[in-house]
A and B are shown apart, each in its own frame.
Chain A
Amino acid sequence: MDVTTPILKCAKLCVGYGDVSVMKDISFTLERGKILAIVGPSGCGKSTLMRVLGGLDEPMSGSCELLGVDLSQADSRAREATLRQSGFLFQGSALFSSLTLRENIEMPMREFLKISSSQIRQLAEYKLACVGLSDAIDKLPSEISGGMAKRAGIARAMALDPEILFLDEPSAGLDPLTSERLDDLILKVRESFNTSIVLVSHEVPSILHTADYCVYLDSDTLTMGAYAPPKDFLDPKSHAKAHSFFSRVVTPK
């Protein structure tokens, strides 16, 4: 892929379930190495949009180019090749429960890389070390905490050195300190691997800390309300609902 090609480009995208459209008129472009946050009220279709952006679901209409390839138009080989260059972290981490963390990371490598077992092992150890899980390498997913499972999920998503990572609510259910460390990890991954990242999140401090751009989905109009750097939404003159979302601060009673 040409380095000047946007990593993600959507035009008039409409997403939904079956015949029901949940969000339409989504248009934006994301450059390489940038972090995009998808925000909006609960149930507005953030995860659905991310699944479409990541090529897991088909859009209802419009186009979405991932790494320069329109996945809804591409043949199965091009589609699979493109999907291999993206990594996904699901809300529940979706680690394979019968495999240890190391085996979870090695699995996509064994599937797609024609290299020796020792080299695969070395790569898996490195990826787990990157997310601070060197000591839990031989544990099963059921033996680790939620925060560790998220990090292992990120390591698995990074297994094939993807160009883009999709993270569905990475800090959901984590305490603020663990969440902050996870944010730092996301930034380190971006800095070190130059990976573009798309994340769905509800947590304003986390979005402000990590994201370069933010898509705000408006659940009233069922359209993309705004697309801007998240700090812009702190300005009262910005998109009213997005501003209201971002300026919500919990004050003690």
Chain B
Amino acid sequence: MSEKSARQASISTENQTGGLTIIKIGGSWRIDQPLPSLNFKGDQVKIVSDGLEDFDSALPSWIHHNFKNVRELDLSELPKRLQSLVRLAEKNTQWKSEDEKPNLLENFGVWGIESYSSWGRAMDHIGQTSTGLFRTLIGRSKVNWSDFTLQLQTAGVDALPIVALLGFLTGLIMAYVGLIQLRQVGATVYVANLVALAMTREMGALMTGIIACGRTSTSFASQLGSMNVSQESDALRALGINPVEYLAVPRILAVTLMVPLLSLFATFVGIFGGMIVACAGDLSIDQYLNQAIKAITFKSFLVGFIKSFFFAFIAAWAGCYRGYVAQRSALGVGDAATSAAVLGITLIVIADAIFAVIFNLYNF
């Protein structure tokens, strides 16, 4: 960009006999200044200089935009450099031309094929993960133990504070809501049953699963997506190592081991949170604890544990899967992280609903 000029860009048109239009251009044509607009219909044009002072790419871009479809364009009376700039933008046959844009029907077809293939990829990844886990369990596959222990730390121990906080607040909120309702029928003592049962059977596992999706799934998706971008996954494949087995299995194992423990922790913290509210209201600590212990059975714990085990698998798998299929770009990695959280949470809620029906059917 150079200094500002005195005269603004100007044009004037002159129609000649035989369909030729002469366009006179003058003034200074700069990319940081507004350009004149032109309503032109014709297929024979001659552009001439009429006091043309200076120009940068504003002028050739203006000519390119307005006259690219004109049959005969005569620039012979313009400066050589301008002719060269206009020619540079002419359809260059040395570069391969791209395919035409697909129409609506083709777009629909592409969407259908992509949806079908994304299901296929998901099933393929589940298959590879299951095979990898099975091979690991029977000792036919080496686990990347350093990755496994690192994930135990990051997905498990490092999550303790957030699990404690959310578990505590969940118990607290349930007790608060329960207390208000139960006070109306004089049954405030049952707030302990409500909190204890809800935390062991439902909320401990659900909250921990959702935290795992928000924390761990997105982290896995970003890690594996970035490895796709830097072709580390390809490097593993080239070395004859199955990337799903090498990267996903230790992560899924670590999360599946840690999340049930975190869920148990969240359950106890939640019951404690409920106790704070209950005891600030109508109950003593002894009353609350006795009532809570009566309410919780081994079956309730088992239900919560089974759920948290599945939720953990879903959260870890969603992260690994979305990272594995992430596009090789910064945008792809971001999308993978977002879709991992969405996929994980959706599947966990669906799984929870299915569990509710199953446990109800079998009176569990």
Name A's B-contacting residues (CB within 8 A). 1, 84-85, 97-98, 109, 112-116, 119, 122-123, 125-127, 129-130, 132-136, 139-142, 151, 158, 160-161, 181, 184, 188-189, 191-194
Alpha-carbon distance A141/B330, docked complex (angstroms): 11
B95 touches A123 (CB 8 A): no
B1 touches A123 (CB 8 A): no
A122 touches B61 (CB 8 A): yes
Residue numbers in B under 8 Å from A160 (CB-CB): 1, 31
Whether a CB of chain A sits under 8 angstroms from the CB of B296 is no
A134 touches B61 (CB 8 A): no
B330 touches A123 (CB 8 A): no
Known pairs A85-B1, A193-B85, A194-B81; A113 contacts B31 (CB<8 A): yes
Known pairs A119-B35, A193-B57; A161 contacts B1 (CB<8 A): yes
Which residue of A is nearest B62, CB measured? A122
B329 touches A125 (CB 8 A): no
Residue numbers in A under 8 Å from B57 (CB-CB): 123, 126-127, 158, 161, 193
Name B's A-contacting residues (CB within 8 A). 1-2, 31-35, 56-58, 60-62, 64-65, 81, 84-85, 87-92, 94-95, 97-98, 327-332, 334
B31 touches A115 (CB 8 A): yes
Alpha-carbon distance A151/B33, docked complex (angstroms): 26
B64 touches A97 (CB 8 A): no
Contact of A98 among B31, B60, B331 (CB under 8 A): B331
B330 touches A126 (CB 8 A): no
- Name 15 extra pairs, CB < 8 A, besides A122-B62, A142-B328: A98-B331, A115-B31, A123-B31, A125-B64, A125-B65, A127-B57, A127-B61, A132-B92, A140-B329, A142-B327, A160-B31, A161-B31, A188-B84, A188-B88, A192-B87
User: From DSSP, what is the main secondary structure of chain B's interface residues?
Assistant: loop
Contact of A126 among B60, B81, B331, B334 (CB under 8 A): B60
Alpha-carbon distance A116/B58, docked complex (angstroms): 13
Alpha-carbon distance A161/B61, docked complex (angstroms): 12
Residue numbers in A under 8 Å from B56 (CB-CB): 161
Known pairs A115-B34, A192-B81, A192-B84; A122 contacts B331 (CB<8 A): no
Which residue of A is nearest B59, CB measured? A126
Tell me the smallest distance from the CB of A158 to a CB of chain B, in Å: 8
B34 touches A181 (CB 8 A): no
Residue numbers in A under 8 Å from B334 (CB-CB): 98
A114 touches B98 (CB 8 A): no
Tell me the smallest distance from the CB of B140 to a CB of chain A, in Å: 37
Alpha-carbon distance A105/B303, docked complex (angstroms): 57
Residue numbers in A under 8 Å from B61 (CB-CB): 122-123, 125-127
B91 touches A134 (CB 8 A): yes
Residue numbers in B under 8 Å from A129 (CB-CB): 64, 88-91
B32 touches A114 (CB 8 A): yes
Which residue of A is nearest B57, CB measured? A161
Residue numbers in B under 8 Å from A85 (CB-CB): 1
Which residue of B is nearest A98, CB measured? B331
Alpha-carbon distance A127/B65, docked complex (angstroms): 11
Contact of B89 among A130, A136, A191 (CB under 8 A): A130
Interface-central residue, B1, B2, B332, by most chain A CB under 10 Å: B1
Known pairs A126-B60, A193-B57; A181 contacts B88 (CB<8 A): no
Tell me the smallest distance from the CB of A192 to a CB of chain B, in Å: 4
Which residue of A is nearest B89, CB measured? A129
B84 touches A191 (CB 8 A): yes
Alpha-carbon distance A160/B331, docked complex (angstroms): 26
Residue numbers in B under 8 Å from A127 (CB-CB): 57, 61
B332 touches A135 (CB 8 A): no
Tell me the smallest distance from the CB of B96 to a CB of chain A, in Å: 9
B32 touches A115 (CB 8 A): yes
Which residue of B is nearest A142, CB measured? B329
B330 touches A119 (CB 8 A): no
A97 touches B31 (CB 8 A): no
Task: Report, nearest first, the 4 A-B pairs whose CB atoms are least far apart.
Answer: A126-B61, A132-B95, A97-B329, A129-B89
Interface-central residue, A84, A116, A119, A133, by most chain B CB under 10 Å: A119
Tell me the smallest distance from the CB of A4 to a CB of chain B, in Å: 15
Residue numbers in B under 8 Å from A122 (CB-CB): 61-62, 64-65
Residue numbers in A under 8 Å from B329 (CB-CB): 97, 140-142
Tell me the smallest distance from the CB of A132 to a CB of chain B, in Å: 4
A135 touches B331 (CB 8 A): no
A119 touches B34 (CB 8 A): yes
B35 touches A142 (CB 8 A): no
B98 touches A136 (CB 8 A): yes
Alpha-carbon distance A158/B89, docked complex (angstroms): 13
